[in-house]
Structures are given as C-alpha cells and as structure tokens.
C-alpha cells in the first residue's frame, strides 16, 4: 500500500507511504492517491483532510526518477496529466486539504503541498524544485501554482536555481502558515486546525473555497460578481438559517451540512 488512509472524528488522514524511497511518487502511488482523494470527497463523514508523508525524512521527495527515466515523450505527457488531474481533485473538492509537510517536499512533493489549501510544516521541511537540474521541468502544476502564490519572479528564482528553502523561509514567503518543531507537534496542529474548521458550516466552507480558488484567476470585478452569486447561493442553505438564528438566539449552531 503506497497510500495509507484512516479517518477519525471528521478528519481524513492520507499518508504517502514509500518511506524507503522518501515517498517518491511512482504511477501506482499517484493512482492510489487519486482513488483515495475521490473516496474522501464522497465520504460525508469526512469534513477536512490532512496529507502527510510516512517516516521522519520526507513528505514526498518528488516524482519517482527511476520511473521517469523510462518515459517516452507521450508517456511523460500522460504522467503529467495524471499528476495534474489528481492534485486538481484536491483543489476542486469542497473539503479543505491541509498539507502537514515533514522533511523534503521536492518537485512533485512541493506540488502536492501547493495543491492543498493550507500548508503547515515541520522545522526540518525543505521545499524546492530540482527538475531543471535533471533536465526536465515541474509537471504537476508547480510552475502555475508557485508563481500564483509567491509571484513570477520568486517562482522563477526557485525553479531556475533548484535551490531548496527551509520551513522558516517558506513561512516568510507565505507558502507555509506555521512551523512546528516535531512531527508529533505538526500532526497535532493539523488535527487542531481540522477540529476548528469543523465547527463551521461545511457548505459555507466549500463555497468560500470555490470563491477563492476559482476567483483567483478572474479579474477582481468578475471575482466580486462570482463572490456575490455564491453569497446568494449560501443563503438557500439550512446551515445559513441555523448559523444566523443561533447567533441571534445566543446558542451554539448545529450544522448539518445542508
């Protein structure tokens, strides 16, 4: 099993599990990851998802280089499409995905983290894109997602130079929200964040995510129009009625997700 999955109290835990290969993404691992994300997305008991890497050294040290060595150009195109499609499923899911980055997040590993909604990191985390040093380029969305997150200039510097940045630099650049000393603290923080998110209305979270993710590539004017239409949509939900009445009635809301 290259992907481990468990769920507990509304949180789904996805662990990329090839520790002897620093959790490098080969085709089987990506296919398993895709199936797991699809399963999580359908499971109404799961409200928030945490992704991490097995072992102490790595979140994911990239796409599997031994596997890529044998690819023809057409197979490489298909591999990039599969990787992009898989990671895009996290962006289009209504559920928040939190990357808990322990150790190396290189190439495809950085791309997995960048496709999550929030990135928390252990102090040993190292982020980077080694691809051009291997004669290839990032292919699972890295060129697009990193430049949109930190700007074109910094993204070019990191991708062209292949230099790795540590967790505190990643926090300074706005890639990482918070840094934790140990893997235990990191996962604890991921769980606490998931629990805090779960106190809120799931449909509202899904629509807020849509507004941010889809709105990001629109002009501000179109983005505002999109936000206003989703604001209208959310008012058709029971949870909006419940949340607004609960405040007025000075009680805790009881959200059902409808």
- Alpha helix stretches (DSSP H) within the chain: 27-42, 65-69, 73-92, 108-115, 142-150, 152-161, 167-172, 183-198, 202-215, 220-234, 238-248
Say whether 186 sits in a helix, a strand or coil.
helix
Residue 118 pairs in a beta bridge with: 98
Q: How far is the CB of 185 from ligand COA (least distance, A)?
A: 22
Select which of 131, 157, 195, 221 is catalytic: 131
Size of the site for ligand COA (CB under 6 A): 15
Contact string 83-122 vs ligand COA (x = CB under 6 A): ---------------------x-xx---------------
Taking the least distance from each CB to ligand COA, the nearer of 62 and 202 is: 62
The DSSP annotation for 25-50 comes to: B-HHHHHHHHHHHHHHHH-TT--EEE
227 is known as an active-site residue: no
Residue 121 pairs in a beta bridge with: 101, 179
Contact string 30-69 vs ligand COA (x = CB under 6 A): -------------------------------xxxxxx---
Sign for the pseudo-dihedral over CA of 78, 80, 84, 86 = positive
Q: How far is the CB of 149 from ligand COA (least distance, A)?
A: 19
Residue partners of 224: CB distance under 8 A and separation at least 6: none
Q: How far is the CB of 138 from ligand COA (least distance, A)?
A: 7
221 is known as an active-site residue: no
Q: How far is the CB of 238 from ligand COA (least distance, A)?
A: 46
Query: Per CB under 6 A, does 141 bind ligand COA?
Result: no
Written as six digits, the tokens of 231 are 């604001």
Query: Per CB under 6 A, does 22 bind ligand COA?
Result: yes
- Residues known to be catalytic: 111, 131
Per CB under 6 A, residues contacting ligand COA are: 21-22, 24, 61-66, 104, 106-107, 130-131, 134
């Amino acid at each position: 099993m290259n992907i481990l999955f468990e769920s507990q109290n509304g949180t789904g835990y996805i662990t990329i599990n090839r520790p002897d290969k620093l959790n490098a993404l080969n085709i089987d691992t990506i296919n398993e990851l895709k199936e797991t994300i699809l399963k999580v997305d359908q499971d109404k008991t799961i409200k928030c998802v945490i992704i991490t890497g097995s072992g102490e050294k790595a979140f994911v040290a990239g796409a599997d280089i031994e596997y890529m060595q044998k690819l023809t150009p057409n197979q490489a195109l298909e591999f990039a499409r599969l990787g992009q499609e898989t990671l895009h499923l996290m962006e289009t899911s209504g559920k928040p995905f939190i990357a808990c980055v322990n150790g190396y997040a290189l190439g495809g590993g950085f791309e997995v983290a960048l496709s999550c909604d929030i990135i928390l990191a252990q102090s040993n985390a190292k982020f980077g894109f080694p691809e051009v040093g291997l004669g290839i380029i990032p292919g699972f969305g890295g060129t697009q997602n990193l430049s949109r997150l930190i700007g074109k200039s910094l993204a070019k510097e990191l991708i062209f130079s292949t230099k790795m940045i540590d967790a505190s630099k990643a926090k300074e650049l706005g890639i990482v929200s918070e840094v934790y000393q140990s893997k235990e603290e990191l996962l604890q923080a991921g769980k606490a964040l998931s629990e805090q998110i779960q106190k809120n209305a799931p449909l509202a979270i899904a629509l807020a995510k849509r507004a941010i993710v889809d709105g990001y590539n629109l002009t501000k004017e179109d983005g505002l129009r999109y936000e206003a239409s989703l604001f209208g949509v959310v008012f058709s939900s029971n949870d909006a009625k419940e949340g607004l009445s609960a405040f007025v009635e000075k009680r805790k809301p009881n959200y059902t997700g409808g």
